[in-house]
Amino acid sequence: MNTLTLWFHKIGSPPTFYRLAGRFTPWLFALAALTGLVGLYGGLVLAPADYQQSDAYRIIFIHVPSAWMSLFIYFVMAVNAFIALVWRIKLSETLAMCCAPIGAAFTAITLATGSIWGKPMWGTWWTWDARLTSELVLLFLYVGVIGLYHAIEDRRQAARAASFLALVGIVNVPIVHFSVKWWNTLHQGSTVRLLGPSAIDASMLWPLLLMALATKLWFLGSLFARARASLLELEAGKDWAREEALRTGAAP
Amino acid sequence: MSEFLAMGGYGAYVWSSYAIFAVVLAIDYIAPRLHRRRVLAELRGRIKRQQKRTETPT
Amino acid sequence: MAALPSHDAPPLLHARGLAFARNDEPVFGPLDFTLHAGEVVLIEGDNGAGKTTLLKVLSGLLEPASGEILLDGEPLTLARLSHKVALLGHLPGLKGDLTPLENLRFATGLFGSRPGTDATAALAEVGLEGYEDVPTRQLSAGQKKRVTLARLLLVPAMLWLLDEPYANLDRGGIDLVNRLLDAHAARGGAALVTSHGAYAFTSGAPRRLPIRPVAA
Amino acid sequence: MAALPSHDAPPLLHARGLAFARNDEPVFGPLDFTLHAGEVVLIEGDNGAGKTTLLKVLSGLLEPASGEILLDGEPLTLARLSHKVALLGHLPGLKGDLTPLENLRFATGLFGSRPGTDATAALAEVGLEGYEDVPTRQLSAGQKKRVTLARLLLVPAMLWLLDEPYANLDRGGIDLVNRLLDAHAARGGAALVTSHGAYAFTSGAPRRLPIRPVAA
Amino acid sequence: MTTASASRACAALLRRDLLLTWRRRGDALSPVLFAIMIVMLFPLALGPEPNQLARIAAGIVFVAMLLAGLLALDTLFRADYDDGALEQLVLSPHPLAMLLGCKILVHWLTTALPLLVAAPLLAEMLHLPRQVLPVLLGALALATPLLSLLGAVCVALTVGMRRSGMLLALLVLPLYVPVLIFAAGACDAAQAGLPFTAPLLWLGAALAMALVLAPMACAAALRISIS
Amino acid sequence: MTTASASRACAALLRRDLLLTWRRRGDALSPVLFAIMIVMLFPLALGPEPNQLARIAAGIVFVAMLLAGLLALDTLFRADYDDGALEQLVLSPHPLAMLLGCKILVHWLTTALPLLVAAPLLAEMLHLPRQVLPVLLGALALATPLLSLLGAVCVALTVGMRRSGMLLALLVLPLYVPVLIFAAGACDAAQAGLPFTAPLLWLGAALAMALVLAPMACAAALRISIS
Ligand code: HEM
Ligand SMILES: Nc1ncnc2c1ncn2[C@@H]1O[C@H](COP(=O)(O)OP(=O)(O)OP(=O)(O)O)[C@@H](O)[C@H]1O
Ligand SMILES: Nc1ncnc2c1ncn2[C@@H]1O[C@H](COP(=O)(O)OP(=O)(O)OP(=O)(O)O)[C@@H](O)[C@H]1O
Ligand SMILES: [Mg+2]
Ligand SMILES: [Mg+2]
């Protein structure tokens, strides 16, 4: 075994991960809150009103980062699911399953803020265009993964079954992303590009990117917090979990 | 200040969006904490039960 | 009339350090045992000791937490199970809408059949003559059990895993199981049987494999 | 320690010319028997003789083809069953998602409870201490059976109808059933038990009621 | 020897069924999700023009409701039958109709009530005109208990059968049709600006009758089908 | 000692499943009846104007089909699981994917094929324009096996559970959505007089892929969920 896999095994062992995650989580949440607040200040106060949408466009600073996260988290979940199914690594099973509720939360935010934004812009809360529909399907996929996971008794078997479903559902992610290109819809096309100039003013761009960073940090923090609880549940028979229970029980 | 809150007439839309954002993330923050507390409490119960089981019959 | 087990031949079944866990809680501890052709072994244990679980692991339906199972020297893999094992579990696996005969025909189609056997004769052997054309749904608990015994007679498996085969059977049925086990051992087969110990095998005392739940 | 049956009192159960038929084919013939307080009777019969069917008829779940059943002198009617009968059939009637304790609480809510009994104590009595909070789904076959025995202990029924209560139980479980039956008889109850005859009741030889399938 | 009083028996049954639902609270949301998904299928299959959708919105909501209720029906007695708990219920010394009434109540609370709560959302997704929404909700509030009660009778008849799902649908749907006609009629009238109280009153009358008769019919049907 | 050959095993399985369907031939008709009833509900809920119905006819037929297929899905492995026959299938020495493929085939033959036969009738009931009918049938012929194959994978995941009906619907529908969009798209195009081959070709390509991959995925899912 080379040093890399050794290192991976060390980090991947539940007690080690539990300890490390416990140390990182508060920092991740704090950093997320900090960048988020700066981003929101930039977006809500510093950035000027849009010439077309007036102030309504300010929903963009939560809508778009959440939408990106809804796709990104699904991708992370699918990668973990793949590792879980092929190499049966317990940590990956846990991480995949912990991604699902966070992804569902961001998807719900995207749908809610999108339809709130749609009312003043398109005159309707909801239409059945490709982007909106595929995002709704994404929510159903998340809910299906969560539902399947909780419907099976044995935790590890449940994680594998739900991981399988998550992998099957990954086809939907490119559909969501490219839907505006493949079908002509009401929804905006891409305005932010990683390479090349973005079709958005710099005063609006930097808060947007900062919010995107904040949601990523938040995701990591939430993922670690959830993984800690799940690992405890999964390893309830092991000594380290018992020690943890007695330790936290002693200090009320 | 009230101008800021009015958001050029779109205040209801903008602020309700931000409220939803805040509420969902707050739930996302609390849920794992509650879950961990429940797991730990259950574990302590199990430890206690096992202690009782090993003490009483012998 | 069990043939004397010849201990030079490789064992039919060999379990090495076999253990099973549910949600990381051990169910039965590491077990080591071998089963040779011609042997019948009785698995003994109290309620909840893990007998049913052990048989499921040995058939390949559940994956062991650790250890390995060698069948005729080859490891048992989940991907492609061998036709050497027949499991008779708590559930009969019979279709209530089909007659016993149709159920048996399906089993031989799926698992193949032992040469020289025949479904009608097997039904007669387990005492179900005259029930060939009754829907299985209408049989009593013990009669259904007998149909599954007839299925055991027909398929070519060498290793039988029987979970409480005596339950629900009357005196005649218990004798029948014992006769079937003897004949199977005599022709070089082997069997693992769980039972709550109230019945003895006819030909002498069988080997016993006690299992105990792991103190968690 | 069964109380001696006092044959002057009216019998707890009286069957007169009781017969059952499925699609006009007789399943068991006209039966006449009485059961007094303090008696335990063993129903004997081969597989498919009609034991399960008889118990269902006696509990009121199936309607007899002819004859009548008197409970404490009153005819059993389907419309309003009495709380004097408790049936323990092949199916346990337990909810897998609830704990044993919750299952027992529901039963006492529905059927009432015998004074001086308590669900936790009953569970301990059948050897399930420590399993109060495990979902019933996760119990083994024998452990589930024990929960149904605990239920029998709690409900106020005087007449127990037990269909193969010994099946799936280990040695300790079989003794347990015998003890429960003795105690029940001693406090003036009565029981009809089917079993494949391998187990004797502890206190002397019980009365036996052989049933044979009607030659069709 | 204490015999259980009828009210204690009902309380025990209600508590147990609610507890079971709570243990499987994920399942309790499924009818709503299912209804949302049916509603989603229509714009996909019919095209998304808001005007056309608005015209058929109330009808789709009713059909989605009805199908979700239909699927949930099967769970009413199925589990109890499979594990023998239904046998115990029948053998209990209390009036069976009363106990079944309790079961139907819990079933309505846990499957239909969430649907009722989700209805405004569904209506909005299909662009139902605002002024029709109260009528839609009123019609649903009267129709869903009626559907539960009627459905229960049919479930009781099919409970002993394997694979009864489809058969159940066949038995139930003819009974549901009149309910559907009255409920949809009320919404249609409201959408066209006509008076809509008459069909609602009819629904109310039917509900009152079903409340009395259905549990008894259900008990009779159950006795037949488990013997 | 003769071991069964793979072809003999498949033949035995096909024969048994067809025989079982034949013994319960009443049940085999239920999906059709169910679809007919759904189709019938719409004129009741929406009012009977032929023009409006004709516009949404193809969509309703697809939705009815999809829901009927969804309900029938549950029976694919349920009975085999409950009585232990599925365990025997898994323990057999043949490739599980092949055996499951046979089961899916029988399921399609006995549930979807009757639907296909009934489709012209349904279309007629909703006044679908005559020239759209061939496209509708073609789309159905490609879509129904695809739905069966995709559905089988999800059923395999939920087979060990009690009360899986709703969860199954939740898992399956997201996978069905693209199929529905393409099939309905072809019919829409035909109804508007536009070219309609592209969506049909997409369906065909998806079907070819599913024929190869779905049985294998199904076998993998089944192994996970019965262990
Ligand atoms: C319920 C309604 C809506 C949903 C479900 C929705 C969904 C999404 C999703 C999933 C993305 C990310 C796409 C990707 O990264 O590939 C996105 C991006 C975006 N959405 Fe929405 N949206 C909705 C309504 C709206 C409305 C009303 C507007 C503005 C009028 C809008 C403006 C944007 C913009 C500007 C982007 C960023 C595009 C880019 O740069 O990639 N959205 N939306
Ligand atoms: N699905 C399950 N989930 C969790 N625990 C289980 C499950 N099934 C069984 N168990 C537990 O595993 C242990 C072994 O069960 P198993 O069914 O193998 O016992 P057994 O020896 O067959 O008992 P019996 O003689 O009563 O049939 C028991 O303590 C039981 O409570
Ligand atoms: N649902 C049914 N329909 C038709 N016949 C049935 C049905 N159930 C049982 N029988 C038949 O009725 C007879 C009596 O069955 P019963 O189940 O009462 O037997 P039993 O004495 O309990 O047998 P066992 O010891 O095997 O449990 C049997 O011959 C059986 O084939
Ligand atoms: Mg067992
Ligand atoms: Mg019996």
Mind listing the pLDDT tens digit for each residue in C16-40? 989 988 777 788 878 888 888 888 8
Average confidence (pLDDT) over A136-163: 88
Give the per-residue pLDDT at A226. Answer: 95
pLDDT surpassing 80 at residue A250: no
Is A187 touching ligand 1 by the criterion CB < 6 Å? yes
Q: What mean pLDDT value characterizes chain C?
A: 81
In a domain, D63, yes or no: yes
Backbone angles phi, psi at A201, to 5 degrees: -70, 145
Give the helix, strand, coil percentages of chain C, each rounded to 5.
30, 25, 45
Q: Taking 50 as the threshold, does the pLDDT of residue D14 lie above it?
A: yes
- Tell me if C24 and A154 make a contact (CB, 8 A cut-off): no
Do B and F touch (≥3 CB pairs < 8 Å)? no
In this prediction, residue F145 has a pLDDT band, given cuts at 50, 70 and 90, of: very high
Mean pLDDT of D39-58: 86
Q: What parts of chain E have a pLDDT lower than 50?
A: 1-2
Q: Provide mean pLDDT across the span A87-98.
A: 90
The per-residue pLDDT for E62 is: 86
Q: Kindly list the protein residues that place their beta carbon closer than 5 angstroms to ligand 4, a single-atom ion.
A: C 52; D 141
Query: Probe ligand 1: pick from A131, A190, A216, max atoms within 8 Å of CB?
Result: A131
Contact of C206 with C40, CB cutoff 8 Å: yes
Tokens of C121: 């004769």
Q: What is the average pLDDT score of chain D? A: 81
Angle D96-C167-C190 (CA atoms, 0-180°, nearest 5)?
A: 110
Q: Please give the average per-residue pLDDT across D37-61, as a whole number.
A: 86
In chain A, what is the straight-line distance between the N-terminal and C-terminal CA atoms, in Å?
43
DSSP sequence for A62-130: HHHHHHHHHHHHHHHHHHHHHHHHHH--HHHHHHHHHHHHHHHHHHHHHHHHHHHHHHHHHSSS----H
Share of chain A above pLDDT 90, in %: 41
Residues of C in contact with A159 (CB under 8 A): none
Q: What pLDDT digit, counting tens, does each position of F72-103 carry?
A: 887 888 778 877 788 888 887 788 899 999 99
The pLDDT, as a whole number, for residue D206 is 67
Write out the two tokens for E195: 């008076």
Cross-chain Cβ contact B49/D130 below 8 Å = yes
Taking the C-alpha atoms of residue E179 and residue E203, their distance in angstroms, rounded to an integer, is 7
Compute the count of residue pairs across chains B and D with CB atoms less than 8 Å apart: 6
Question: How close D93 gets to chain E, by Cα (Å)?
Answer: 4
A6-20, A67-81, E162-176, F69-83: segment of lowest average pLDDT: E162-176
pLDDT at position A132 over 70: yes
Distance from the CA of A113 to the center of ligand 1, in angstroms? 9
**Amino acid D216: pLDDT:** 44
pLDDT tens string B10-42? 778 888 999 999 999 999 999 999 999 988 888
Ligand 1 near A111 CB (within 6 A): yes
Least Cα distance to A25 among B40, B41, B29 occurs for: B29
Digit-coded pLDDT (tens) for D96-114: 888 899 999 888 888 888 8
Decide if C197 is inside a domain: yes
Mind listing the pLDDT tens digit for each residue in D189-199? 899 998 875 55
Name residue C103's amino acid.
N
Amino acid letter, residue F208: A
* Calpha distance A230→A218 (Å, rounded): 18
Check pLDDT > 50 for residue F1.
no
At A221, is the secondary structure helix, strand, or coil?
A: helix
**What is the share, in percent, of chain A residues with pLDDT greater than 70?**
88
- Return phi, psi of residue C71, to 5°: -105, 115
Q: Tell me: pLDDT of A213 over 90.
A: yes
What one-character DSSP code corresponds to residue E92? S
User: Average pLDDT in the C152-173 region?
Assistant: 86
Q: Is E37 on the interface with A (CB under 8 A)?
A: yes
Residue C2: pLDDT band (50, 70, 90) is: very low
pLDDT at C216: 41
Q: What is the pLDDT of residues C132-144, one digit of tens each?
A: 888 888 888 889 9
Give the domain range for residue C98: 13-210
pLDDT above 90 coverage of chain F, percent: 20
Q: Which segment, D133-142, F17-26, F97-106, is predicted with the most confidence on average?
A: F97-106
Distance CA D82, CA D93 (A): 19
In a domain, C133, yes or no: yes
Q: Distances from the Cα of A179 to the Cαs of A132, A133, A197, C201, in angstroms? A: 9, 10, 22, 70
Output the furthest CA–CA distance in chain B (Å, rounded). 77
Global confidence as pTM: 0.78
Residue F2 has pLDDT above 80, yes or no: no
Tell me the mean pLDDT in the region F218-226: 85
| Among F93, F94, F227, beta carbon nearest to C61 | F227
Q: Identify the H or E element spanning D209.
A: strand D207-210
pLDDT for residue A65 is more than 50: yes
Q: Look at chain D and report how many structural domains it folds into.
A: 1
Spell out the domain ranges in chain A.
Answer: 23-184+200-248
**Residue C8: inside a domain:** no
Q: Do D46 and C142 touch (CB under 8 A)?
A: yes
What gap in Å lies between CA E144 and CA E174, rounded to an integer? 16
Would you say residue C206 has pLDDT above 80?
no
Across D118-132, E205-219, F185-199, least confident range: F185-199
**Residue D23 CB neighbours (<10 A):** 5
**How far is E48 from E59, CA to CA, in rounded Å?**
16
D6 located within any domain? no
D94 vs E contacts (CB less than 8 Å)? 83-85
**Residue D175: CATH number of its domain:** 3.40.50.300
CB pair distance less than 8 Å for D140 and C52: yes
Rounded to a whole number of angstroms, the CA Rg of chain F reads 19
Q: Which two tokens stand for residue C91?
A: 């559930």
Give rounded-to-5 percent helix, strand, coil for chain E: 85, 0, 15
- Give CA–CA dist D47/C126, Å, rounded: 12
Q: Whose CA is nearest to atom 33 of ligand 1?
A: A188
Closest CA to A208 of A19, A40, A20, A12: A40
Least confident of A167-171, C79-83, C88-92: C79-83
Mean pLDDT is lowest, of D45-49, D201-205, E6-10, E75-79, for: D201-205
Mean pLDDT in chain F?
A: 84
Which residues, at least 6 apart from A100, have a Cβ–Cβ distance to it below 8 Å?
A77, A142, A145, A146, A149, A162, A166
- Any ligand 1 atom below 6 A from CB of A60: yes
Contact residues, chain A, for C216 at CB < 8 Å: 237
Contact residues, chain C, for A90 at CB < 8 Å: none
Instruction: Work out the minimum CA distance from E47 to partner chain D, whole angstroms.
Output: 44
Choose the residue to mutate in A117, A193, A194 for probing ligand 1, maximizing ligand atoms within 8 Å of C-beta.
A117
The predicted structure's pLDDT at residue D199: 58
* DSSP-assigned beta bridge partners for residue D113: E2
When pLDDT is cut at 50, 70 and 90, the band that residue C77 belongs to is low
Task: Decide if C184 contacts C191 (C-beta within 8 A).
Answer: yes
Residues of E within 8 A of D63 (CB-CB) are 227
Distance D47 CA to ligand 5 centre (A): 7
% chain C with pLDDT above 90: 11
| Residue D7 pLDDT level (bands cut at 50, 70, 90) | low
Q: Average of pLDDT values for A81-91?
A: 88
